């Protein structure tokens, strides 16, 4: 699979139909037919985006090389990771599944590159060398600060987007995994994603809420003259991805993120 130009929108990486067809070694008509024949399985803004009007014009301005062959196209479909997975599932060829694995590893998700060992430092042998090391250290710290500041808006936008759209209640997540809601709640407590509060509700830990994995909706009601609170947890796409990765890790499910 040749290197793909990165397309980003609303904090997500997306692929055009042409890029998806190239990755799966299928023609665009096959991808389009696959979509039309299974359209009831695809959800807009979860599996794909359909750009028209001003949104399409803005895309063409932002990506002139990609949109060069789309001059007169009235609509442009862009596919999310979940949409790419549905296409792979429908095509059901060895190449489609191999390409999907590559897309996940190399395009939709950034591979974590962790240091393999602690860096080795040597003490300076003289004053001049100490000054040089200090200068290098200051320059590197400045470079890292600039990079962090540059990435901060993207990270904030990503967190906001992931927390705002496609949130699902836990029972819907459990249904897609062919599990009972209580079973999934038990698993998430075992995985230290949530705990039971004094009222007996399953509540995510605060750091997972801040990370954009969950949202909790609380409402107040009266019972026998007493004011009580009830809480319900909803899972964002980021939290859904976390749950499915843990489920695959413990061999509870296989393959993609939904049945």
Q: Do 38 and 99 sit in the same domain of this protein?
A: yes
Q: Do 72 and 13 sit in the same domain of this protein?
A: yes
- Which pairing describes strands 202-204 and 48-51: parallel, antiparallel, or unpaired? unpaired
Indicate the SS3 state at residue 43.
coil
Q: In Å, how far from its chain's centre is CA 214?
A: 14
Residues in the chain: 259
Residue 119 in this model has a pLDDT that exceeds 60: no
Residue 145's domain comprises 115-164
Q: Do 38 and 102 sit in the same domain of this protein?
A: yes
CB 210 within 8 Å of CB 236: no
| Side-chain-side CA neighbours of residue 176 (13 Å) | 15
pLDDT digits (tens, 9 = 90+) for 175-208: 888 889 999 999 999 999 999 888 788 999 999 9
Asked if the structure places residue 152 within a domain, the reply is: yes
Return the pLDDT at 191. 94
Q: How many domains does the chain have?
A: 3
Asked if the structure places residue 153 within a domain, the reply is: yes
Q: Give me 116's structure tokens.
A: 């393999």
Q: DSSP 3-state helix, strand, coil percentages of the chain (rounded to 5)?
A: 50, 15, 30
Q: Which of 12-21, 131-140, 180-189 has the lowest mean pLDDT?
A: 131-140
Return the pLDDT at 183. 93
Q: Do 73 and 147 sit in the same domain of this protein?
A: no
CB 100 within 8 Å of CB 85: yes
Q: Do 14 and 101 sit in the same domain of this protein?
A: yes
pLDDT digits (tens, 9 = 90+) for 67-86: 556 667 788 899 888 888 88
Long-range Cβ contact pairs of 204-207 (< 8 A, separation 24 or more):
204/233, 204/239
pLDDT band at 259 (very low <50, low <70, confident <90, very high): very low
Percent of the residues in the chain that have a pLDDT greater than 90, as a whole number? 9
Q: Give me 222's structure tokens.
A: 């009266």
Q: Do 79 and 137 sit in the same domain of this protein?
A: no
């Amino acid at each position: 699979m040749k290197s793909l130009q990165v397309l980003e929108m609303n904090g997500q990486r997306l692929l055009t139909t042409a890029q998806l067809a190239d990755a799966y070694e299928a023609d665009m008509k096959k991808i389009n037919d696959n979509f039309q024949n299974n359209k009831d399985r695809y959800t807009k803004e979860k599996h794909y985006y359909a750009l028209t009007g001003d949104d399409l014009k803005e895309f063409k301005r932002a990506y002139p090389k990609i949109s060069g062959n789309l001059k007169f196209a009235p609509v442009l479909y862009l596919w999310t990771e979940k949409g790419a997975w549905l296409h792979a599932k429908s095509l059901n060829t060895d190449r489609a599944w191999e390409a999907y694995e590559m897309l996940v590893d190399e395009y939709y998700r950034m591979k974590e590159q962790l240091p393999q060992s602690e860096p080795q430092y040597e003490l300076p042998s003289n004053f001049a060398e100490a000054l040089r090391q200090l200068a290098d250290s200051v320059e590197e710290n400045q470079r890292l600060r600039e990079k962090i500041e540059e990435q901060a808006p993207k990270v904030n936008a990503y967190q906001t987007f992931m927390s705002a759209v496609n949130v699902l209640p836990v029972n819907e997540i459990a249904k897609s995994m062919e599990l009972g809601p209580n079973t999934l709640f038990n698993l998430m407590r075992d995985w230290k994603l949530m705990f039971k509060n004094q009222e007996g509700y399953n509540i995510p830990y605060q750091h997972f809420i801040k990370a954009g994995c969950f949202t909790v909706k609380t409402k107040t009601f009266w019972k026998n003259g007493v004011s009580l609170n009830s809480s319900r947890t909803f899972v964002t796409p980021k939290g859904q991805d976390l749950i499915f990765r843990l489920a695959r890790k413990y061999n509870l499910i296989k393959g993609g993120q939904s049945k």
